[in-house]
Amino acid sequence: MKIVSLNGWGGKLHEDLLAYVKATEPDILCLQEVVHSPESRKDWLTYRDNDQILPQRANFFSEVACVLPDHIAFFCPAAQGVLWDDEESVSSQWGLATFVHRSFPIIGQAQGFVHKDYSPVDYGEHPRSRCAHGVRVYDYEANRSVSVTHMHGLRDLNGKMDTPERLAQARRLLELSRQVSATGDLIVMCGDFNVEPSSQTLALMSEDGWTELVTGRGFQSTRTSHYKKQGRFADYMLVNREEAVRAFDVVDDPEVSDHCPLVLVL
């Protein structure tokens, strides 16, 4: 089973990202920073937040679903706010998405918020709402159940330091993973956690018995050349049984986002 976790950067490099996803053929794709604007027919819209202006692929979720026609697609919105088509405002949802190959029966699912709640009328004040999604599938080839839960951790304008909110979201992520898992399952947690390797978040996971693969296997960054700020870590992949890992990689080529894809083979 191949599991890929990736922050899609709102589809800014969508052509390269779609080609990579299609070629990689993940059994489960955990995609964060996903835009879904079902009322818009535009290819591109613009996100504006004070001095931050970013191009957004208007229907990024639908485009990824189209290149994975044999997958069941789930979109999990954290908020609905406004993107811009020149000076015209367009309602657009923002969140994360999970894609599961149809060959794997989905035998459990959980969706919830790790910070705040759904923001229905705008994206909200920072730090904004964040959600998580978990699926439990049966892997007939390995004769076992596997649960996979991912989140996009909250962004704090002051940086990736430890905060009470980040520690609380880590506890909520653990609880959601437990909701979608059963005794004996092979369990995976992943996503863009938006924390440093020395964070309370990862310390909590370690104390709970998880193995973190990015830092544990010596990778020095989960960011690509498109990321110009300090701090080279944001994304993590954790498992409850390291002996089940056949392969793990942080992919820096091709560059499909300002984040690297994390690829786990069980």
> In this predicted model, what pLDDT tens digit does every residue of 179-226 receive, in sequence order?
999 999 999 999 999 999 999 999 999 999 999 999 999 999 999 999
Average pLDDT of the segment spanning 59-71:
98
Average pLDDT of the segment spanning 240-261:
98
Mean pLDDT of the chain: 97
pLDDT band at 78 (very low <50, low <70, confident <90, very high): very high
- In the predicted model, is pLDDT for residue 51 greater than 90? no
Can you give the residue ranges of every domain in the chain?
Answer: 2-265
CA 31 distance to own-chain centroid: 4
Average pLDDT of the segment spanning 41-54:
92
pLDDT over 90 for what percent of the chain? 95
Average pLDDT of the segment spanning 19-47:
97
3-state secondary structure of 159: coil
pLDDT band at 117 (very low <50, low <70, confident <90, very high): very high
pLDDT at residue number 86 = 94
- In the predicted model, is pLDDT for residue 230 greater than 90? no
pLDDT over 70 for what percent of the chain? 100
pLDDT band at 30 (very low <50, low <70, confident <90, very high): very high
Q: What is the Cα–Cα distance from 175 to 90, expressed in whole angstroms?
A: 35
pLDDT at residue number 50 = 80
pLDDT at residue number 164 = 97
pLDDT band at 143 (very low <50, low <70, confident <90, very high): very high
In this structure, which amino acid lies at residue 202? L
Sequence-distant (6+) residues with CB within 8 A of 43 are 57, 58
Average pLDDT of the segment spanning 98-116:
98
3.40.50.300, 3.60.10.10, 3.40.50.970, 3.40.50.2300: CATH of 2-265: 3.60.10.10
- In the predicted model, is pLDDT for residue 54 greater than 90? yes
From the CB of residue 142, how many other CB atoms can be counted at a distance below 10 Å? 12
pLDDT at residue number 95 = 98
What are the φ and ψ backbone dihedral angles of 183, each rounded to 5 degrees? -55, 130
Q: What is the Cα–Cα distance from 257 to 245, expressed in whole angstroms?
A: 25
- In the predicted model, is pLDDT for residue 44 greater than 90? yes
Reported as half-sphere exposure (CB side, CA atoms, 13 A), residue 212 has a value of: 23
CA 240 distance to own-chain centroid: 19
- In the predicted model, is pLDDT for residue 10 greater than 90? yes
Q: What is the largest CA-CA distance in the chain?
A: 54
Average pLDDT of the segment spanning 241-259:
98
| 6 neighbors 262 (Cβ within 8 angstroms) | yes
pLDDT band at 35 (very low <50, low <70, confident <90, very high): very high
pLDDT at residue number 52 = 86
